[in-house]
Chain A
Amino acid sequence: MSIQNIDNVTRRNFIGGVFSASAFVLAADLLPEIAWGDTSENHGKAAAAALKPSLYLGLEPDGTVYIVTHRSEMGTGIRTTLPMVAADEMEADWSKVKIEQAIGDERYGDQNTDGSKSIRGFFVPFRETGAAARLMLTRAAAAQWKVPESECSAVNHVVTHTPSGKKLGYGELAAAAGKLPVPKSSELKLKQRSEWRYIGHNAKDAKAIADLKDITSGKAVFGMDAKVDGMVYASIERPPVVGGKVQTVDAAEALKVKGVTQTVSLPAFTPPYTFQPLGGVAVVANSTWAAFQGRKKLKVEWNHGENATHDSERYKAELLETAKKPGKVVRNLGDVDAAFAKGKIVEASYYTPLLAHATMEPPVAIASFKDGKVECWVPTQNPQAVQDTVAKALGIKVPDVTCHVTLLGGGFGRKSKPDYVAEAAMISKQVGKPVKVVWTREDDIRFDYYHAVAGMYHKASLDEKGKVTGWLHRSVFPSISSMNDEKSLYGFNVEYGMGLNDMPFDIPNLRAENGPAKAHVRIGWLRSVANIYHVFSGLSFADELAHAAGRDSLEYQLELLGAGKVLNLNAQGVGEYWNYGESQDRYPFDTRRLRKVLEIAGEKSGWGKKKSGNGWGLGVAVSRSFASYVATVVEVEVDKAGKIRIPKTYMVVDAGTIVNPERAVSQFEGAAVMGAGIALTGEISLADGRVQQGNFHNYQVPKMHQAPIQTDVHLVENNELPGGVGEPGVPPFVPAFANAVFAATGKRVRDLPFSKAKLV
């Protein structure tokens, strides 16, 4: 990484003139360290850019420190957490820190706030930027006092000359520091862990959530709340079947609605679907309500295309049937077939349906097309994808698209896909005004990039002591790769590396296979992605094996993990193990850490102290995802009517070094609730190619009484590199919950959601 002090002109281009002429501004080149869910061309372009001022840390003469966050805030707290890192190393007084949200620009490096990788990717660059500022301020003070730099120290916005006791505030040093050469990385002295004042602390002086007061007072600006002068509103009637096209439109009645000004036709996408809009007919009006009303009066005839016969019930049967047959081998250790020739055989099939993201804020975007350029205001996880997608849709250049990032009312992966922004830009070009496209909840549920449906088959052999001698896991799902290749039938290493080819158990004979499945809806990624189905089936099956062996499930999972070691998956027939985009040297897969979280979860939950049954039970599951290790114990009560209550959940988390523990804990609390929703009621289904759900009455997400009443999160403290926190809580929750239901009722739920199962 290189850090540079930059001039006035360049920096203004980036964040719109936040800094005064006499401010001291540092930019760091944040080369994207990991790539995920995005095209590799972005990274090439970032590396090729002449000037790469990817992070700004600026100090004004009045002492105000500005730190630019280039990642999106959707509830994880990252907008606060990354600046905490730089502020800590800078020894900045948090009360003097102001946070600026970056626009989309490839020179920031990777901005796709996805894959639980913001801290993994940017912890070091933000530390180094802060440390560079601290060193320059110290040098400026030393020069002014004509004393050796080594006699000066910078603490909490003040540089002190220790022998004389002289002090200078950071603001007073800004101008002089700005004139100094930027130190090389090798000159930087990062703080010791014991010296951290914000990183790893439950912030007292540093607020855990920068936008807290704005949120509670209703002042926070989400994408839905953004407004631009002269803006009009649009609501879009999209093809009810993916790939459908408009045949005829009769807009006469729509145009009679007061406030409706015109309609705009949007072309259907050219396969593969990528981030392109679905097409359809937009109704443009002078208010949101008028646009909604006008849209209801549209008469559109559709050519539905080849997905019009798609049916979830039939598709489910096909997936489960395919899972019974040999597939593409994605991991092969030992010889499972030989193992299956002996001992007790246990087998089971599992099914998980499509899921919608259902962010509380539906997709929404403002775009303004003017003089061949687009400016947009968007709740997006990926502003650079917005630039690319809008540029492609309008045939303009990427730098001619400016993307301002608002707060996001939830993301979960949906808002990485900017189809909704391209819609706004296309309509704006047609009407010659800024346009706000507002998705209704029905639009959101029916036109999502869905989390994949999956059919899975597990088979294992047990020896006479109940020890597993062989394990076969087959998984069949429409792949995310269908986004870029409509003929895609198989998954890819990202999906395999989420619980399929990285199953952590120490078993001599293991095989993982992936069977073919064609996508008939847009497939995307949702918080924790393929882990949802792989870990649900894998850890449910582990519980089934424990039961078959007459063993306690937690002890059995520990036994399956073995003594614990660093897994060398490449040597276990995996080929290229994805490892969440990280090198296995930096982020080894260490099953000792899994053992540890599992053992602690047993202690914290009082595992084994009370006998399960009669409508009460505990379930447990463990998983590593996004370079973090999580064990979850779920307590359930099932009443005589089959109604489930979750009084308590325990999550034990080893996510290595934690920057903002308070926000990390909240992510795991939230993951438990999302996991509960996936298990209890999460299901999108299609008939005649049309999504059957449309709003929260039939796509139910947990309410307060359905969610875990109390989730206790225990963070394991260590000095390991930071892992992810946004997603890793979801995967183990779902099987732990299913295992708890089994413990309470004796009913094994293999098909999600539970709402379809008869528990009593």
Chain B
Amino acid sequence: MIKLKVNGRERSFDGDPDMPLLWYLRDELSLTGTKFGCGVGQCGACTVHRNGEAIRSCSTAMKDVAGKTVVTIEGLSAKGDHPLQKAWEQGNVPQCGYCQTGQIMQAAVLLKKIKHPSDKEIEDGMQGNICRCGTYQRIRAAIKTAAKEMA
């Protein structure tokens, strides 16, 4: 039995310990804001927080979240009003929107570590998150907007 905390709630899991966290979140908890994009940690659409660090849930096994705290997009803020979510809305960032929850989760950790990231630091921090619609310049701008608000 694997015990973990997801978005503040205690959970226990007794299935395949090698199953990626992504499928536990999506298929079992119906937390579908975390997306399946590549399955191998190449696109970042599945990004969640494990003990405050950004991880790719598609390639993180359940056994590796035992006893850990996991936060998904659904738990990032109470009303979808994290400064990053607000900045994303203000800048009309999304196109199709599929990758954006992963982008926001990645950016949230970036801003926790670096209060005012430079362009280079944003590029480095976000290099694992692909957006096929090509919203990068708005993502960059929204991160800067959120950084200002959070300061």
Known contacts A697-B42, A701-B132; A218 and B34 CB within 8 A of each other: yes
| Distance in angstroms between the alpha carbons of A224 and B58 in the assembled complex | 14
Is the Cβ of B85 less than 8 Å from the Cβ of A289? no
Nearest Cβ on chain A to B81's Cβ, whole angstroms = 9
Nearest Cβ on chain B to A723's Cβ, whole angstroms = 19
Measured as residues with beta carbon below 8 angstroms from the partner, the interface class of chain A is 35 or more
Contacts of A671 in B (CB 8 A): 134
| Distance in angstroms between the alpha carbons of A438 and B39 in the assembled complex | 12
How many residues of chain B have a CB within 8 Å of chain A?
Answer: 58
Contacts of A220 in B (CB 8 A): 97
Task: Assess whether A643 is interfacial by the CB under 8 Å rule.
Answer: no
Contacts of B114 in A (CB 8 A): none
Partner of A288, one of B27, B99, B132: B27
Of all chain A residues, which has the CB nearest B40? A695
Contacts of A407 in B (CB 8 A): 96-97
Task: Assess whether B109 is interfacial by the CB under 8 Å rule.
Answer: no
Partner of A704, one of B23, B43, B85, B140: B140
Contacts of B37 in A (CB 8 A): 360-362, 441
Nearest Cβ on chain A to B44's Cβ, whole angstroms = 9
Partner of B123, one of A233, A362, A704: A704
Is the Cβ of A75 less than 8 Å from the Cβ of B80? no
| Distance in angstroms between the alpha carbons of A709 and B85 in the assembled complex | 22
Task: Assess whether A222 is interfacial by the CB under 8 Å rule.
Answer: yes
Task: Assess whether A258 is interfacial by the CB under 8 Å rule.
Answer: yes
Which of chain A's residues 332-384 have a Cβ closer than 8 Å to chain B? Answer: 358-362
Is the Cβ of A662 less than 8 Å from the Cβ of B134? no
Task: Assess whether B117 is interfacial by the CB under 8 Å rule.
Answer: no
Contacts of B133 in A (CB 8 A): 75, 360, 410, 670, 673
Known contacts A215-B97, A216-B85; A360 and B130 CB within 8 A of each other: yes
Decide if the interface of chain A is mainly helix, strand, loop or mixed. loop
Partner of A75, one of B45, B97, B119, B139: B97
A interface footprint on B72-107 (CB within 8 Å = 1, 0 otherwise): 111000001000010011001111111111001000
Nearest Cβ on chain A to B130's Cβ, whole angstroms = 6
Task: Assess whether A599 is interfacial by the CB under 8 Å rule.
Answer: no
Known contacts A409-B98, A670-B133, A710-B137; A212 and B92 CB within 8 A of each other: yes
Is the Cβ of B45 less than 8 Å from the Cβ of A711? no
Is the Cβ of B98 less than 8 Å from the Cβ of A438? no
| Distance in angstroms between the alpha carbons of A71 and B74 in the assembled complex | 28
| Distance in angstroms between the alpha carbons of A290 and B16 in the assembled complex | 9
Is the Cβ of A704 less than 8 Å from the Cβ of B94? no
Is the Cβ of B80 less than 8 Å from the Cβ of A704? no
Contacts of A250 in B (CB 8 A): none
Contacts of B40 in A (CB 8 A): 441, 695, 697
Of all chain B residues, which has the CB nearest A698? B42
Partner of B95, one of A76, A440, A697: A76
Is the Cβ of B137 less than 8 Å from the Cβ of A288? no
Task: Assess whether A696 is interfacial by the CB under 8 Å rule.
Answer: yes
Nearest Cβ on chain A to B10's Cβ, whole angstroms = 21
Task: Assess whether B26 is interfacial by the CB under 8 Å rule.
Answer: yes
| Distance in angstroms between the alpha carbons of A663 and B36 in the assembled complex | 26
Contacts of A359 in B (CB 8 A): 96, 98, 132
Is the Cβ of A696 less than 8 Å from the Cβ of B127? no
| Distance in angstroms between the alpha carbons of A674 and B131 in the assembled complex | 10
Known contacts A288-B27, A695-B38, A703-B127; A74 and B96 CB within 8 A of each other: yes
Is the Cβ of B134 less than 8 Å from the Cβ of A673? yes
Is the Cβ of A218 less than 8 Å from the Cβ of B32? yes
Nearest Cβ on chain B to A551's Cβ, whole angstroms = 33
Task: Assess whether B56 is interfacial by the CB under 8 Å rule.
Answer: no
Contacts of B66 in A (CB 8 A): none
| Distance in angstroms between the alpha carbons of A671 and B95 in the assembled complex | 12
Of all chain B residues, which has the CB nearest A219? B33
Task: Assess whether A325 is interfacial by the CB under 8 Å rule.
Answer: no
Task: Assess whether B6 is interfacial by the CB under 8 Å rule.
Answer: no
| Distance in angstroms between the alpha carbons of A702 and B20 in the assembled complex | 26
| Distance in angstroms between the alpha carbons of A671 and B138 in the assembled complex | 14
Can you list 21 A-B pairs, Cβ within 8 angstroms, ordered by A? Answer: A76-B95, A77-B95, A209-B92, A215-B101, A216-B93, A217-B74, A218-B74, A293-B16, A360-B37, A361-B98, A409-B97, A409-B98, A409-B99, A412-B132, A441-B37, A441-B38, A442-B39, A663-B92, A667-B95, A673-B133, A707-B137
* A interface residues, Cβ below 8 angstroms from B: 73-77, 208-209, 211-213, 215-222, 224-225, 227, 233, 258, 287-290, 292-293, 358-362, 407-412, 438, 440-442, 662-663, 666-667, 669-674, 695-697, 701-705, 707-711
* B interface residues, Cβ below 8 angstroms from A: 15-16, 19-20, 23, 26-28, 30-40, 42-43, 45, 72-74, 80, 85, 88-89, 92-101, 104, 119, 122-123, 126-140
Nearest 6 A-B pairs (CB), nearest first?
A218-B33, A673-B134, A409-B98, A217-B80, A75-B96, A75-B95
